[in-house]
Chain A
Amino acid sequence: MKVRFWGTRGSLPVSLGGAALRAKLVRSLLAADGRRFADAADAEAWLATQPFGLTQTYGGNSSCVEIERRAPDPAGGNDYLLCDMGSGLRPFGNAVMARHGPQRPNHFHIFLSHLHWDHIMGLPFFTPAYIAGNRLSIYSAHAEAEQALRLQQSPPCFPVPFEALGARIEFIQLEPGRTVTAAGCQVSAKRQLHGGDSYGYRFEAEGRSLVYSTDSEHRLEQAGEAEDFAAFFRAADLVVFDAMYSLADAVSVKQDWGHSSNVVGVELCRLAGARRLALFHHEPIFSDERIAEVEADARRLERITREDGPALEVFAAYDGLEVEL
C-alpha cells in the first residue's frame, strides 16, 4: 500500500508567495556561502543536505490523499482510492490524465470526511469527472453529500453545472461501524467532533492499515474518548492526523473550532501502538518554518513518551509526499 499526499493544507488553499520564496533564496545563498556547483545534480545534492523548510514547501492544496494498492485490481479495472476532494484533487486529476490520456475509463472511489468547502472544492476542477466513461463512487456518512456537490456547482457560485460532469457519479451512504469494501480495501468509519460532524476512515488491505482522521477535535480527559480513538487507530501503519493548531490554541482561543494538535496526535498514536503519524491539515497562516517546528515539537514529545515502547515515526505531510506502508 502506498499513500500519496496531493493536498495537505487545512481550511484554505495557499501559495508560498513571492516574499517567502525570496526569503528562502536569500537564506539558501547565504547558506551556500560562495560554494561553486559543477552542475544541476551537484546543486541538487547540496540542497538535499539543507532543511526541508529552506529548500522546499509543504504546499498549499487543501485535503486530498490517494491510497494506492500494490497489487493491481484482479478485475482489471483502473481503480483509484482517495480521501477527500480538496484542491489537491486537481493535480491528482491532471496526473491521471497524463498517465492514461482521456481514452481509458477510470473508476474513482472517494471517501469524504465531511462536506466543508476545503474538502470538496476540487471536484469542479477534476478533469476526469468531465469525461464520459469514467466513474466516481463517492462515499460519505453525510446524507447531504450530493446536495453539497450540486450546490457548489450552481449559479451564481460556479458557471459549469454539476450536470455537465460527464462521468457516471454515484453516492454511497456510509454508517459508522459498518465496513464497506472499495477498490479492494476494507473501510470503516468513525464519527468525529467537528462542526456538523466529520468522519475518520480506517482502510485495510494487503495486511496494511491506514487511518485518515482529519477535522477532528479531541477532549481526551473525557472518559472513553482516548480509548475509542486508540481502538480506531490500533496498530495502524500510518495515521493521517489533523494537527492544525498548537494544543494551547486548540483548547483556548480555538476551542470548539473542530481541530486538533500535534500533541494529541502523538498521544493517541502512542496509545494505539501506531507505527507512523503524518501531521496534516496544516494551518494556512503557518510558514514552512513554522510547520517544521510543529514537526520537531511532535518528535520531541514522541521521545519523551516513548519509554520502552517502539518508536513512532512522526512527520509533517507535504503536497507530493509518497509513503510506502
Chain B
Amino acid sequence: MDLHATYRDGVLLLQPQGRINHLNAEAFEAALAARQAAQAGRLLIDLSQLEYISSAGLRILMLLSKQIVSAGGRLATAAPTPVVREILEISRFNLIFKIHPTVDAAIAAFAAVG
C-alpha cells in the first residue's frame, strides 16, 4: 500500500495504491495522518489505483470523514476500480461518501460548491 499526495485547485488529492486490509490498515491510518488529511478543508480520495479495501480500511476512512466534516471540511472520492466500487456498494459506503466518476469531475464539483 502506498499513498500519493498532491494538491489540485486547493483540494488535497490522495491516491492510495494497492490493497488495504487489516494487516496494513494501521499503516494506512499513519500515512493519512502524515499527510495531515484530517486537517484538509477539501479532501479528494482518488480510488483509481486501489485494488481492494477491507472493512478495516473503510473504518479508517469513516473516522477520517467524521474528523473532516466536524471541522467544517468536505471529503469526496473518485474513480473507483470495479471491485472497489462493488465493495463500496456492498458496505453501503456509497450512501455516505460522494463517489465521482473521475478526479476531474470531483475537482469541478468542489469548485462549483465553493
Which residues of A pack against B, CB within 8 Å?
218-223, 225-226, 246-249, 251-252, 261-264, 267, 271, 297-298, 300-301, 304
B92 in the interface, Cβ–Cβ < 8 Å?
A: yes
A267 near B54 with CB under 8 A, answer: yes
B62 near A261 with CB under 8 A, answer: no
B93 near A248 with CB under 8 A, answer: yes
A247 near B22 with CB under 8 A, answer: no
A225 near B22 with CB under 8 A, answer: yes
Main SS of the interface on chain B?
A: helix
Encoded as 1 (CB less than 8 Å from any A CB) or 0, chain B from 53 to 64 comes to 011111110110
Taking CB as reference atom, which chain B residue is nearest A249? B92
Which single member of A249, A261, A298, A300 contacts B55 (CB below 8 Å)?
Answer: A261
B90 near A252 with CB under 8 A, answer: no
Query: Provided the pairs A248-B95, A300-B90 are in contact, do residues A220 and B54 lie with their beta carbons within 8 angstroms?
Result: yes
B62 near A251 with CB under 8 A, answer: yes
Number of interface residues of B (CB under 8 A): 25
B40 in the interface, Cβ–Cβ < 8 Å?
A: no
Which single member of B29, B52, B66, B92 contacts A247 (CB below 8 Å)?
Answer: B92
Given contacts A220-B56, A248-B95, A301-B90, 5 further A-B contacts (CB under 8 A): A219-B59, A247-B93, A251-B55, A251-B63, A300-B90
Residues of A within 8 A of B60 (CB): 221
B5 in the interface, Cβ–Cβ < 8 Å?
A: no
Taking CB as reference atom, which chain A residue is nearest B93? A248
In whole angstroms, how far apart are the Cα atoms of A193 and B43 in the complex?
Answer: 32
B26 in the interface, Cβ–Cβ < 8 Å?
A: yes
In the complex, how many angstroms separate the beta carbon of A291 from the nearest chain B beta carbon? 14
B25 in the interface, Cβ–Cβ < 8 Å?
A: yes
Residues of A within 8 A of B95 (CB): 248
In whole angstroms, how far apart are the Cα atoms of A13 and B56 in the complex?
Answer: 31
Residues of A within 8 A of B55 (CB): 218, 220, 247, 251, 261, 263-264, 267
In whole angstroms, how far apart are the Cα atoms of A262 and B90 in the complex?
Answer: 9
In whole angstroms, how far apart are the Cα atoms of A247 and B89 in the complex?
Answer: 10
Residues of A within 8 A of B90 (CB): 247, 262-263, 297-298, 300-301
Main SS of the interface on chain A?
A: helix
The residues in B between 4 and 30 inclusive whose CB is less than 8 angstroms from any CB of A are 22, 25-26, 29
Query: Provided the pairs A220-B25, A226-B22, A300-B86 are in contact, do residues A246 and B92 lie with their beta carbons within 8 angstroms?
Result: yes
B83 in the interface, Cβ–Cβ < 8 Å?
A: yes
B91 near A261 with CB under 8 A, answer: yes
Query: Provided the pairs A248-B95, A252-B66, A263-B91 are in contact, do residues A221 and B57 lie with their beta carbons within 8 angstroms?
Result: yes
Residues of B within 8 A of A298 (CB): 90
Taking CB as reference atom, which chain B residue is nearest A253? B96
Among A221, A252, A261, A304, find the residue whose CB has the most chain B CB atoms closer than 10 A: A221
Closest 6 CB pairs of A and B: A221-B25, A221-B56, A247-B91, A246-B92, A248-B92, A226-B22
In the complex, how many angstroms separate the beta carbon of B34 from the nearest chain A beta carbon? 17
B87 in the interface, Cβ–Cβ < 8 Å?
A: yes
Taking CB as reference atom, which chain A residue is nearest B84? A304
In the complex, how many angstroms separate the beta carbon of B61 from the nearest chain A beta carbon? 9
B87 near A220 with CB under 8 A, answer: no
Encoded as 1 (CB less than 8 Å from any A CB) or 0, chain B from 74 to 108 comes to 00000000010011011111011000000000000
Taking CB as reference atom, which chain A residue is nearest B83? A304
13 contacts between A and B (CB under 8 A): A219-B56, A219-B59, A220-B25, A221-B57, A221-B59, A221-B60, A222-B26, A223-B26, A252-B62, A301-B87, A301-B90, A304-B83, A304-B87
In whole angstroms, how far apart are the Cα atoms of A9 and B58 in the complex?
Answer: 26
A220 near B91 with CB under 8 A, answer: no
In the complex, how many angstroms separate the beta carbon of B62 from the nearest chain A beta carbon? 5
In the complex, how many angstroms separate the beta carbon of A225 from the nearest chain B beta carbon? 7
Taking CB as reference atom, which chain A residue is nearest B28? A221
Among A249, A263, A271, find the residue whose CB has the most chain B CB atoms closer than 10 A: A263
